[in-house]
Amino acid sequence: MEIEAVRAAYRRYARIYDAVFGPILHPGRKLIIKALGCRPGDHILEVGVGTGLSLPLYPQDVRVTGIDISAEMLARARQRVEHECLAQVHAVLEMDAEDLRFPENRFDKVVAMYVVSVAPDPTRLVAEMRRVCKPGGEIFIVNHFRSQNPLIRVLEGLVSPLAKLVGFHPDVGLDDLLRKTHLDVVNIRSANLFGYWKVLRCRSTARVPQPLVSDDAANDESVAATMQEFSK
């Protein structure tokens, strides 16, 4: 899905987003904010902040910068910040998460809630999250990944060609993402209805030399082993 298709999809969704995706995805947002273990003065970047549903959940003594590619979603986030006097929100900016306009090692924590399966290039998105996160910082992702259940997988495969229309790819594989991004995952937890979404907590470690692993290595056995370890 191209960035223009993402913009078009979220231009359509902006008015109804909170009603449709607010409550149903909120447990995952709460879980991440709790897992962040925010400390006073932490500078946090949230990519794909959307309408800012997560923003009131951050404690008042951190500094949150939210970015998104959709002007219509951001307009709602800005309204929320103003109406709810969210002092912890430092800035809400229109920006591509795959091409962040921040220097390296800028943020203590970098967060992506329900963005990985929407962004045109999830590998690049994660690489940018890593670049701007300080060494020793943490990266948090909540997302739906391709199901292990064969029946649900078939349904996801059927919806996949409609990605442009629905505004997300239901079939992003967690194993593929980990293999390509070399994310240093500390733990994975399930969230939301039926545990269908996963919350990843990752350490920000030394940068991976480019290029990232090619698609030819898709069946790398080490990925399967790592996944088994995480699912224990």
Ligand X SMILES: C[S@@+](CC[C@H](N)C(=O)[O-])C[C@H]1O[C@@H](n2cnc3c(N)ncnc32)[C@H](O)[C@@H]1O
Give residues in contact with ligand X (CB under 6 A). Answer: 6, 10, 21, 25, 29, 47-50, 53-54, 67-70, 73, 96-98, 113-115, 118-119
What minimum distance in Å lies between the beta carbon of 52 and ligand X? 8
* 118 versus 223: smaller Cβ distance to ligand X: 118
* 67 versus 183: smaller Cβ distance to ligand X: 67
* 70 versus 88: smaller Cβ distance to ligand X: 70
Could you give phi then psi for residue 168, rounded to 5 degrees?
Answer: -160, 160
What minimum distance in Å lies between the beta carbon of 130 and ligand X? 15
What minimum distance in Å lies between the beta carbon of 229 and ligand X? 28
What minimum distance in Å lies between the beta carbon of 108 and ligand X? 19
Measured CA distances, 188 to 6, 18, 73 (Å)? 27, 26, 28
Measured CA distances, 89 to 32, 54, 170, 216, 223 (Å)? 17, 11, 31, 42, 37
| Residue 193: Cβ within 10 Å count | 10
Task: Name the closest residue to ligand X (Cβ).
Answer: 50
